[in-house]
Chain A
Amino acid sequence: MKSAILQTATRYLLPILLLFSFFLLLRGHYYPGGGFVGGLVASIAFVLHSFANGTASTMKILRYKPLSLIPIGLAISTLSVVAPLLLGLPPMTGLWFEEPIPVIGMIGSALFFDLGVYLVVIGVVLTILFTIALEQ
Chain B
Amino acid sequence: MLFTVLTGLITSSLLIPFGKLVKAKWSIVLPLVPVLLFVFYLLHIPTILGGTNLVQHVDWVPSLGVNLDFRLDGLSLLFALLITGIGTAIFFYGRTYLKGHPYFDRFFAYLLLFMSAMLGVVLSNNILTLFVFWELTSISSFFLIGFNNDSKASRDSALSALSITGLGGFFLLAGLIYMGHIAGTFMISELFTKHDLIVDHPQYPLIVGLIFIGAFTKSAQFPFHFWLPGAMKAPTPVSAYLHSATMVKAGIYLLARFTPILGHTEIWNNTLLIVGGFTMVFAAIHALFRVDLKGILAYSTISALGVLTFLLGLGTQEAIIAAAVFILVHALYKATLFMVTGIIDHETHTRDLTKLGGLRKVLFPVFIAALLAALSSAGLPSTFGFIGKDLIYEATLHYKTNWTLWLTALAVITNIGLVAAGFMAGLKPFTGKLPPGFANVHLPYPSMWIPPLILGSLGLIFGVFPGYIGDIFNYQAANAIVQTDTAMHLKIWHGFNTVLLLSLATLLIGIVVYFFNKPSERKLAAVERLNSIAPQRIFSIIGRSTMRLSNWYTQTFHNGYLRSYHIKIIVFAEILLGYKLWISGPIHIKWDSLTPLSWYEVGIVAMLLGALYIIVTTRSRLTSVVSTSVIGYCICLMFVFYSAPDLAMTQFTIDTLTTVLFVLVLYKLPSFINITSRWLQLRDAVVALGFGVILSLIALRVLQEPNVTEISSFYGENSYLLAKGKNVVNTILVDFRGLDTMFETVVLSIAAIGVYSLIRLRLKSSEKE
Expressed in whole angstroms, the minimum distance between the Cβ of B670 and any Cβ of chain A is: 15
Q: Which residues of B contact A74 (CB under 8 A)?
A: 745-746, 749
Q: Which residues of B contact A28 (CB under 8 A)?
A: 727, 730, 734
| B687-728 interface bits toward A, Cβ cutoff 8 Å, 1 = contact, 0 = none | 000000000000000000000000000000000001111110
| Interface residue? B538 (CB, 8 A) | no
Chain A binder among B292-300, B546-554, B628-636, B645-653: B645-653
Asked whether A81 and B726 contact (CB < 8 A) given A124-B748, A127-B755, the answer is no
Most buried by A among B646, B660, B722: B660
| Interface residue? B661 (CB, 8 A) | yes
Q: Is the CB of A29 within 8 A of B755?
A: no
Docked Cα-Cα span, A41 to B653, in Å, equals 6
Expressed in whole angstroms, the minimum distance between the Cβ of B615 and any Cβ of chain A is: 22
Expressed in whole angstroms, the minimum distance between the Cβ of B720 and any Cβ of chain A is: 9
Q: Is the CB of A117 within 8 A of B657?
A: no
Chain B binder among A4-12, A56-64, A108-116: A108-116
| Interface residue? B206 (CB, 8 A) | no
Asked whether A106 and B654 contact (CB < 8 A) given A128-B755, A135-B759, the answer is no
Most buried by A among B745, B748, B759, B760: B745
Docked Cα-Cα span, A24 to B751, in Å, equals 25
Asked whether A108 and B724 contact (CB < 8 A) given A74-B746, A114-B734, A128-B752, the answer is yes
Q: Is the CB of A128 within 8 A of B661?
A: yes
| A11-22 interface bits toward B, Cβ cutoff 8 Å, 1 = contact, 0 = none | 000000000000
Docked Cα-Cα span, A124 to B750, in Å, equals 9
Q: Is the CB of B735 within 8 A of A110?
A: yes
Docked Cα-Cα span, A123 to B759, in Å, equals 16
Docked Cα-Cα span, A123 to B748, in Å, equals 10
Q: Is the CB of B752 within 8 A of A34?
A: no
Q: Which residues of A contact B724 (CB under 8 A)?
A: 29, 94, 96, 106, 108, 110
Q: Is the CB of B745 within 8 A of A92?
A: no
Expressed in whole angstroms, the minimum distance between the Cβ of B726 and any Cβ of chain A is: 4
| Interface residue? A37 (CB, 8 A) | yes
| Interface residue? A102 (CB, 8 A) | no
| Interface residue? A89 (CB, 8 A) | no
Docked Cα-Cα span, A29 to B745, in Å, equals 19
| Interface residue? B731 (CB, 8 A) | yes
| Interface residue? A43 (CB, 8 A) | yes
Asked whether A129 and B723 contact (CB < 8 A) given A81-B738, A124-B749, A124-B752, the answer is no
- Say what secondary structure dominates the interface of chain B: helix
Restricting to B461-478, which residues have a CB under 8 Å from any CB of A?
A: none
Expressed in whole angstroms, the minimum distance between the Cβ of A13 and any Cβ of chain B is: 14
Docked Cα-Cα span, A78 to B731, in Å, equals 17
Point out the residue from B646, B745, B760 that lies within 8 Å of A116, measured CB to CB. B745
| Interface residue? B753 (CB, 8 A) | yes
Docked Cα-Cα span, A75 to B510, in Å, equals 77
Asked whether A121 and B748 contact (CB < 8 A) given A43-B657, A113-B738, the answer is yes
Docked Cα-Cα span, A74 to B752, in Å, equals 13
Docked Cα-Cα span, A28 to B730, in Å, equals 6
| B601-615 interface bits toward A, Cβ cutoff 8 Å, 1 = contact, 0 = none | 000000000000000
| Interface residue? A33 (CB, 8 A) | yes
Q: Which residues of A contact B653 (CB under 8 A)?
A: 37, 40-41, 44
Q: Is the CB of A120 within 8 A of B755?
A: no
Docked Cα-Cα span, A15 to B11, in Å, equals 59
Expressed in whole angstroms, the minimum distance between the Cβ of A81 and any Cβ of chain B is: 6
Q: Is the CB of A125 within 8 A of B749?
A: no
Q: Is the CB of B726 within 8 A of A31?
A: yes
Q: Give the interface size bracket for B toward A.
A: 35 or more
Docked Cα-Cα span, A94 to B745, in Å, equals 19
Q: Which residues of B contact A113 (CB under 8 A)?
A: 734, 738, 741-742
Q: Is the CB of A40 within 8 A of B731?
A: no
Expressed in whole angstroms, the minimum distance between the Cβ of A26 and any Cβ of chain B is: 11
Expressed in whole angstroms, the minimum distance between the Cβ of A121 and any Cβ of chain B is: 7
| Smallest Cβ-Cβ distance to A66: which chain B residue | B752
Point out the residue from B726, B745, B755 that lies within 8 Å of A117, measured CB to CB. B745
| Interface residue? B32 (CB, 8 A) | no
Docked Cα-Cα span, A29 to B759, in Å, equals 37
Q: Which residues of B contact A96 (CB under 8 A)?
A: 724
Expressed in whole angstroms, the minimum distance between the Cβ of A110 and any Cβ of chain B is: 5
Docked Cα-Cα span, A74 to B745, in Å, equals 8
Q: Which residues of B contact A40 (CB under 8 A)?
A: 650, 653-654, 657
Point out the residue from A34, A92, A117, A124 that lies within 8 Å of B739, measured CB to CB. A92
Expressed in whole angstroms, the minimum distance between the Cβ of B193 and any Cβ of chain A is: 50
Expressed in whole angstroms, the minimum distance between the Cβ of B694 and any Cβ of chain A is: 30
Q: Which residues of B contact A73 (CB under 8 A)?
A: 745
Q: Is the CB of A29 within 8 A of B760?
A: no
Docked Cα-Cα span, A114 to B729, in Å, equals 13
Docked Cα-Cα span, A108 to B720, in Å, equals 13
Point out the residue from A32, A44, A106, A131 that lies within 8 Å of B657, measured CB to CB. A44
| Interface residue? B668 (CB, 8 A) | yes
Q: Is the CB of B739 within 8 A of A129?
A: no
Restricting to B307-328, which residues have a CB under 8 Å from any CB of A?
A: none
Q: Which residues of B contact A110 (CB under 8 A)?
A: 723-725, 731, 734-735, 738
Docked Cα-Cα span, A94 to B722, in Å, equals 8
Q: Which residues of B contact A35 (CB under 8 A)?
A: 734
| Smallest Cβ-Cβ distance to B739: which chain A residue | A92
Q: Is the CB of B734 within 8 A of A123?
A: no
Q: Is the CB of A135 within 8 A of B730?
A: no
| Interface residue? B599 (CB, 8 A) | no
| Smallest Cβ-Cβ distance to A111: which chain B residue | B734
Q: Is the CB of B748 within 8 A of A120?
A: yes
Point out the residue from A37, A106, A120, A125 that lies within 8 Å of B646, measured CB to CB. A37
| Interface residue? B624 (CB, 8 A) | no
| Smallest Cβ-Cβ distance to B748: which chain A residue | A124
Q: Which 3 A-B pairs have the closest CB atoms?
A: A40-B653, A29-B725, A124-B752
Pairs across A and B, CB under 8 Å, 19 listed:
A34-B729, A34-B733, A35-B734, A36-B733, A40-B653, A40-B657, A47-B657, A73-B745, A78-B742, A110-B725, A110-B735, A113-B738, A124-B751, A127-B753, A128-B755, A131-B756, A131-B760, A132-B661, A133-B664
